[in-house]
Amino acid sequence: MTTKETGKIISISGATVRTDLSDLTLFERVSVGDNNLTGEVVRLEKESSVLQVYEDPVGLGIGEPVYGHGVSLTTTLGPGLLSVMFDGLQRPLHALTDKTGPFIHPIHLETSLDLKKQWTFTPLINNGDTVSGGVKIGYIDEGPFKHPIIMPNGRKGRVKTIVRGTITLGDSLCKLEDGSEIFGYHSWPMRVPRPYRKKISPGEPVITGQRIIDFLFPLARGGTSIIPGGFGTGKTILEQTIAKHADVDIVIYAGCGERGNEMSELIEEFLELVDPRTGCPLMSRTVLVVNTSNMPVAAREASIYTAVTLGEYYRDLGFHVLLLADSISRWAEALREISSSLEEMPGEEGYPTYLASRLSSFVERAGVVETLSGDIGSLSMILSVSPPGGDFTEPVTQALLRTSGAFLMLDTTLANSRHFPAINWMQSYSLYQNVLADHFKNNVSNDWEILRSLCREIMHKEESLKEIMEIVGIEGLQEQDRLVMQIAAQIRADFLAQNAYTEDAFSEPAKMLDIIRNITDQYIKGGEHTTSKSENETL
């Protein structure tokens, strides 16, 4: 990459560095110091600029050089991303550890993708064809997928030559008559949403295999669910279980500020587990973006943009993508740290005043779209939130609540009683339920919605009966109410709870329906639910 400017470091405060360069642009990528640490311009002043360094700044000195790259931080997109674990700046961790060992030191890696690896390319266009942005010029076989290579947006021309067979990403795949070339990969500025033809309203679910989610609080393809939960309530296990089983083509898992050992266990497991849809290791449909708690905090802020750009890329290839992030609170803490080192005016709880707008512009990158190639692709998000002290009124949870369609509240009392997933069925909700009702009706059963409202009715009754029971005891309840309490207990134990470490970790929708039907049968027979009784006769 060509460097635009050269300047000097004039002051350093942690990972915040001031340089005498003044003609940089906001969010421009910079290389800082003798070790070429990657950074970004975060503030421009009259005769200096403030930079955020995303790598460990230990050893950085005044007077060391600063280079402006003339472009913003980018994500490299193309075949070879799947199965790889990247850091927040999209450097492949295996390449970093090969060079520096397990304790990563700053090194300069030119590209995130292996440009020498050989692939098989099959063209879909011929010499003389006129091609424009969005046209699929061919595809590369990548594990279980055919990875389309798409003409970049804004380009147009007549094809002069196109290759076939074994290629590397360093080779030009197609030459146009105007002399320009098309490669198998390209870069995209990570903070800029990728273009599409149009957004489409969500209408299909992401089947997570978690009964309480799919049945009571479903997530739509292209939608966003948040999972706020206090310490140890099961956020990580729930996200990882969904990453294993969700019925999507591609999973992007962003481990953001969480424990490193949890990520290494996840990778080991993913290498062993087989994706039932393709028969390939689960890892071959997964990209991991890892910025664990022991890695530089500042890069954590960039890591979710790396992850979402990767997600949008696969969406643009016509895939259904699920982005899981654990946890957005750690990202917000990184943002707070950067903001305070810039001495910005703090907002609520010390977070910058732009916290909510940053979060909503991130969440808005989810959606179902018609791609520039005319395919349908989707990017769905499931984001865990770790509110300090389990207080859901804190700014990160509140900001996400306003922008997300489903709220899966993890409950400390349930987790303490070892009821997992500890999703509170009284306080959680999904705004996607109505738009998905037809899908479940047409693809699973007419009874889906009927049994769903019956299940909710029983759980609500249990809640109100609990208060009465505290006063009069179970013996004081009427026989019918005792039946409600007994069935609700069974729903909790056999339907809403799911142990992530057993075969039961994943449940097909049809199986979900069988379980809930069997349990609620006694309720209907007991004459408790009159509407369902007549509905049941027609079923």
Ligand X SMILES: Nc1ncnc2c1ncn2[C@@H]1O[C@H](COP(=O)(O)OP(=O)(O)OP(=O)(O)O)[C@@H](O)[C@H]1O
> In the complex, what is the shortest distance from the CB of residue 506 to ligand X, in angstroms, rounded to a whole number?
11
| Residue with smaller CB distance to ligand X, 371 or 386 | 386
CB count in 10 Å sphere of residue 505: 16
> In the complex, what is the shortest distance from the CB of residue 385 to Mg ion, in angstroms, rounded to a whole number?
11
Question: Is 112 one of the binding residues for Mg ion (CB under 5 A)?
Answer: no
| Residue with smaller CB distance to ligand X, 18 or 245 | 245
- What the block records as the tokens of 111 is 């590209």
Choose the one of Mg ion, ligand X, none that binds residue 420, judging by a C-beta under 5 to 8 angstroms depending on kind: ligand X
- DSSP classification of residue 55: S
> In the complex, what is the shortest distance from the CB of residue 225 to Mg ion, in angstroms, rounded to a whole number?
16
127, 118 contact by CB (below 8 A): no
| Residue with smaller CB distance to Mg ion, 236 or 498 | 236
Torsion 127-132-135-141 (CA) sign = positive
Tell me the CB-side half-sphere exposure of residue 4, using CA atoms within 13 A. 13
Q: Which helix (H) or strand (E) holds 337?
A: helix 328-341
> In the complex, what is the shortest distance from the CB of residue 231 to Mg ion, in angstroms, rounded to a whole number?
9
> In the complex, what is the shortest distance from the CB of residue 534 to Mg ion, in angstroms, rounded to a whole number?
46
Distance CA 535, CA 170 (A): 63
- For Mg ion, which residue has the nearest CB? 236
Contact window for Mg ion (CB under 5 A) among 103-111, 235-243, 246-254, 497-505? 235-243
> In the complex, what is the shortest distance from the CB of residue 237 to ligand X, in angstroms, rounded to a whole number?
3
436, 205 contact by CB (below 8 A): yes
Summarize as ranges the residues that interact with ligand X (CB under 6 A).
229, 231-237, 386, 420-421, 499-501
Choose the one of Mg ion, ligand X, none that binds residue 395, judging by a C-beta under 5 to 8 angstroms depending on kind: none
Kindly tell me which residue out of 83, 236, 292, 309 binds Mg ion, with binding defined by CB under 5 A: 236
| Residue with smaller CB distance to ligand X, 231 or 354 | 231
| Residue with smaller CB distance to Mg ion, 7 or 257 | 257
* Maximum Cα–Cα distance across the chain: 87
Torsion 191-192-196-201 (CA) sign = positive
> In the complex, what is the shortest distance from the CB of residue 334 to ligand X, in angstroms, rounded to a whole number?
16
Q: Which residues contact 473 (CB under 8 A, 6 or more apart)?
A: none
Distance CA 332, CA 315 (A): 26
Choose the one of Mg ion, ligand X, none that binds residue 371, judging by a C-beta under 5 to 8 angstroms depending on kind: none
> In the complex, what is the shortest distance from the CB of residue 305 to ligand X, in angstroms, rounded to a whole number?
22
CB count in 10 Å sphere of residue 164: 11
| Residue with smaller CB distance to Mg ion, 38 or 236 | 236
Distance CA 356, CA 407 (A): 17
Question: Is 292 one of the binding residues for Mg ion (CB under 5 A)?
Answer: no
Pairing verdict, β 376-385 and 320-326? parallel
| Residue with smaller CB distance to Mg ion, 236 or 536 | 236
Contact window for Mg ion (CB under 5 A) among 44-52, 232-240, 245-253, 311-319? 232-240
- Going by C-alpha positions, the residue among 306, 316, 42 that lies closest to residue 189 is 306
Choose the one of Mg ion, ligand X, none that binds residue 234, judging by a C-beta under 5 to 8 angstroms depending on kind: ligand X
CB count in 10 Å sphere of residue 387: 20
| Residue with smaller CB distance to ligand X, 92 or 234 | 234
Chain contacts with Mg ion (rule: CB under 5 A): 235-236
